[in-house]
């Protein structure tokens, strides 16, 4: 990298070849919000080989990228990761491979910043792992969901893992606690899902014949006096899919403030549950370089274990 007066000139290496210029900048400019990245690209302040490019331009090895000096207004800057969050994320890595890592995502932390959220998991982890030049999400988890989250540490690994996801060679299993007795015979829920604006900028999902195809496999893991511990395997990957399909089947997840029921709210309070009971328990995927299957499990968080113990003794 060579620098002019407050201007950076960065040569694209083999590992960044094929990456979109906006994603290249977001990864490199830690602490800079996406909106600002798109703005400087749109204004032509970012140049590749001295030419203007669009945000979706695919970089090639040897390209020379001009990055202008940036001064962030306080309201624009991505929040610096706190010491507590830094330690939490550093201790949440379950397994790390040469081109990937699996994190046990904490509940309550969105994977991306935005919509009033100054910092998300990916922005925070890029600050924590300053040793990594590349770090991208392979898939997402809802803000209130905990468990296995896969990230790529190189572009080739990201492409390989995205392809595995597209070809359904990635297996994701979730644990959920629902109100009532889930019928042992009910295995699949197929119901089209549609996203809509619920007001105040909040986006929700509902079952709608005009929506996108969605299918979830459910299995009873443990029948409890007033609830059922179920395993959910999303065959498709729609937003809030497990939560909406479970509610549509008549068995909403406990602790679900968007799609829950009064019965579920009452039971959650009785069990001392103060969060959504949805946990990405296991993840199986082909290792990007060898193709060998990798299986990772994330232990159930203490607060969910405590609620489950209460549910086993509920009367």
Nearest to 145 by CA among 221, 226, 232: 232
Q: Is the separation of the CB atoms in 253 and 276 below 8 Å?
A: yes
Angle formed by the axes of helices 34-42 and 21-28, nearest 10°: 130
Backbone angles phi, psi at 246, to 5 degrees: -65, -45
Residue 276: what pLDDT?
A: 96
pLDDT digits (tens, 9 = 90+) for 260-299: 999 899 999 999 999 999 999 999 999 999 999 999 999 9
Please identify which residue in the block is written with the tokens 């991306």. 112
pLDDT at res. 81: 77
Tell me the C-alpha to C-alpha distance, in Å, between residue 21 and each of 16, 25, 48, 151, 209: 9, 6, 9, 19, 38
Q: Which of the residues are catalytic?
A: 142
What is this structure's pTM? 0.78
Name which of 276, 27, 9 is nearest 134 in CA terms.
27
Query: pLDDT value at position 79?
Result: 62
Tell me if 292 sits within 8 A of 169, measured CB to CB. no
CA distance 220 to 241: 18
Tell the burial category of 288 from Cβ atoms under 10 Å away from its Cβ (0-12, 13-18, 19+): buried
Percent of the chain past pLDDT 70, that is, above it, reads 92
Give the pLDDT of residue 244. Answer: 96
* 38-79 pLDDT per residue, tens: 999 999 999 999 999 999 999 998 999 999 887 655 444 456
């Amino acid at each position: 990298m060579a620098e002019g007066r407050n201007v950076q000139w960065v040569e694209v290496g083999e590992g960044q070849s094929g990456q979109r210029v906006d994603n290249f900048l977001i990864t490199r400019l830690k602490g800079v919000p996406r909106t600002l990245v798109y703005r400087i690209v749109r204004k032509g302040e970012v140049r590749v080989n001295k030419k203007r490019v669009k945000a979706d331009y695919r970089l090639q090895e040897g390209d020379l990228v001009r990055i202008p000096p940036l001064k962030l207004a306080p309201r624009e800057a991505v929040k610096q990761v706190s010491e507590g969050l830094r330690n939490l994320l550093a201790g949440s890595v379950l397994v790390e491979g040469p081109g990937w890592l699996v994190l046990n995502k904490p509940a309550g932390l969105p994977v991306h910043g935005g919509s009033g959220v100054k910092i998300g998991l990916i922005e925070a982890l890029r600050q924590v792992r300053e040793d990594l030049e590349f770090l991208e999400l392979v898939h997402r988890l809802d803000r209130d969901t905990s468990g296995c989250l896969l990230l790529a540490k190189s572009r080739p690994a990201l492409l390989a893992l995205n392809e595995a996801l597209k070809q359904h060679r990635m297996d994701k299993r979730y644990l959920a606690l629902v109100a009532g007795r889930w019928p042992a015979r009910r295995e699949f829920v197929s119901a089209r899902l549609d996203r809509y604006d619920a007001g105040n900028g909040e986006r929700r999902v509902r079952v709608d014949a005009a929506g996108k195809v969605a299918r979830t496999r459910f299995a009873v893991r443990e029948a409890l006096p007033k609830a059922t511990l179920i395993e959910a395997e999303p065959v498709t990957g729609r937003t809030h899919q497990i939560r909406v399909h479970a509610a549509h089947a008549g068995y909403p997840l406990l602790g679900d403030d968007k799609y829950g029921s009064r019965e579920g709210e009452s039971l959650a309070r009785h069990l001392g549950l103060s969060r959504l009971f949805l946990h990405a328990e296991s993840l199986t995927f082909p290792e990007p370089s060898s193709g060998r299957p990798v299986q990772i499990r994330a232990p159930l968080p203490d607060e969910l274990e405590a609620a489950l113990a209460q549910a086993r003794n509920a009367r």
